[in-house]
Amino acid sequence: MAHGTTTIQYERLAEIGGGAYGTVYKARDIESGQFVALKSMRVQMDNNGLPTSTVREVALLKRLEQFDHPNVLRLMDVCATPRSEQETKVTLVFEHVDQDLKTYLEKAPAPGLAPERIKDLMRQVLCGLAFLHSNRVMHRDLKPENILVTSQGQVKLADFGLARMYSCHMALTPVVVTLWYRPPEVLLQSSYASPVDVWSCGCIFAEMFKRKPLFCGQSEVDQLGKIFEVIGLPPEEEWPSDVTLSREHFPPCSARPPTDFVPEIDEQGARLLLEMLTFDPAKRISALNALNHPYFCNQETLTQTQS
């Protein structure tokens, strides 16, 4: 990890977001003139004076950098500045992208994005996700705010791997992290793995058509209730055994067809959506398999016939 101060090489220009993960600044690299995004966090030291878990996480992010994946935001630099014996300030320097998917969707003129555009964006999100998962990185907090879209329409996943890094820092911030993209296993506080990100993808997929979030719960229980109203109450045998909240807490309800809640979606899109919004994480489609879904196959044949 590079030691030294970030202030010399990077000139801060503007605050671009204060989320659960501290403040983000747009800055300019004084040497290259290139715009970057700076994210700083305070990290507590262990007995050896090292923020071990953070060092591990940052090393992993740096390793991903070697692959230079087109749908993953580039981590360009890491700077550590000791603040005291107990605390170090770690600044991550990312490439800067002007807008996120939330803004991109808001800016789309009515009636919203064209179906082929949604398909292209979804394919890029899944490409980035399949790459992260193949490198054993879970995003854990995928939502429209941390999916960036360049002016050329290229998708870049941001803030992956940070949820773990910042969890110790979270207690210091009063910001409430949204529940709307969280899968049932996280809401139920059961064990979870990479399928969590695929659930979030499903929520975002529906939102691209609807132009508003699919499930807007006020609390964990309310969020689950809103999910079951759409996908149906799962059978007893699928309910995780390691959770305190019982299935009896929720009224019985059956699954609704996707076209009920996302009327604009086509048949293959609806099938993919159901496979992403599957209650049991073991039965949920993986990012890699989602990329091979017939919903995307049509796109290739379409381009081939046009060329």
pLDDT band at 7 (very low <50, low <70, confident <90, very high): low
Report the interhelical angle of 115-134 vs 195-210 (nearest 10°): 170
Would you say residue 174 has pLDDT above 50?
no
The pLDDT score that the predictor gives to residue 47 is 74
Mean model confidence pLDDT for the chain:
86
307, part of any domain: no
* Domains contained in the chain, number: 2
- One domain for residues 103 and 89: no
156, part of any domain: yes
Would you say residue 104 has pLDDT above 50?
yes
> What angle (nearest 5°) sits at the alpha carbon of residue 199, between those of residues 193 and 203?
155
- One domain for residues 135 and 217: yes
Q: Which of 187, 78, 201 is nearest to 130 (CA)?
A: 201
- One domain for residues 221 and 270: yes
112, part of any domain: yes
- One domain for residues 168 and 259: yes
Last residue of a domain, one of 36, 60, 95: 95
- One domain for residues 83 and 106: no
Identify the CATH number of the domain in which residue 53 sits: 3.30.200.20
- One domain for residues 261 and 204: yes
Sign of the CA dihedral running 165, 170, 175, 176:
positive
Would you say residue 4 has pLDDT above 80?
no
- One domain for residues 165 and 224: yes
247 vs 50, 103, 197, 221, CA distance in Å? 44, 37, 23, 11
- One domain for residues 177 and 32: no
The pLDDT score that the predictor gives to residue 298 is 60
Last residue of a domain, one of 29, 64, 95: 95
pLDDT band at 84 (very low <50, low <70, confident <90, very high): confident
Would you say residue 200 has pLDDT above 90?
yes
pLDDT band at 163 (very low <50, low <70, confident <90, very high): low
- One domain for residues 177 and 251: yes
Identify the CATH number of the domain in which residue 151 sits: 1.10.510.10
256, part of any domain: yes
306, part of any domain: no
The pLDDT score that the predictor gives to residue 83 is 83
Percent of the chain scoring above 70 in pLDDT:
85
* Amino acid making up residue 255: A
Tell me the residue range of the domain where 21 lies: 2-95
Would you say residue 100 has pLDDT above 90?
yes
Tokens 């529906």 locate to: 206
Last residue of a domain, one of 64, 95, 126: 95
Instruction: Please write down the HEC assignment for all residues of 155-218.
Output: EEECCCCHHHHHHHHHCCCCCCCCCCCCCHHHHCCCCCCCHHHHHHHHHHHHHHHHCCCCCCCC
12, part of any domain: yes
239, part of any domain: yes
174, part of any domain: yes
* Amino acid making up residue 80: A
Between 205 and 38, where is the model more confident? 205
- For residue range 264-303, list pLDDT tens digits in order: 999 999 999 999 999 999 999 999 999 999 999 865 444 4
Would you say residue 205 has pLDDT above 90?
yes
- One domain for residues 144 and 205: yes
- One domain for residues 152 and 266: yes
The pLDDT score that the predictor gives to residue 42 is 76
The pLDDT score that the predictor gives to residue 230 is 96
Would you say residue 226 has pLDDT above 50?
yes
Between 243 and 192, where is the model more confident? 243
Between 17 and 159, where is the model more confident? 159
Between 138 and 202, where is the model more confident? 202
- One domain for residues 27 and 39: yes
- For residue range 114-139, list pLDDT tens digits in order: 999 999 999 999 999 999 999 888 88
* Catalytic residue positions, numbered: 141
Instruction: Give me Rg for the CA atoms of the chain.
Output: 20
The pLDDT score that the predictor gives to residue 140 is 85
User: What is the value of pTM for the model shown?
Assistant: 0.86
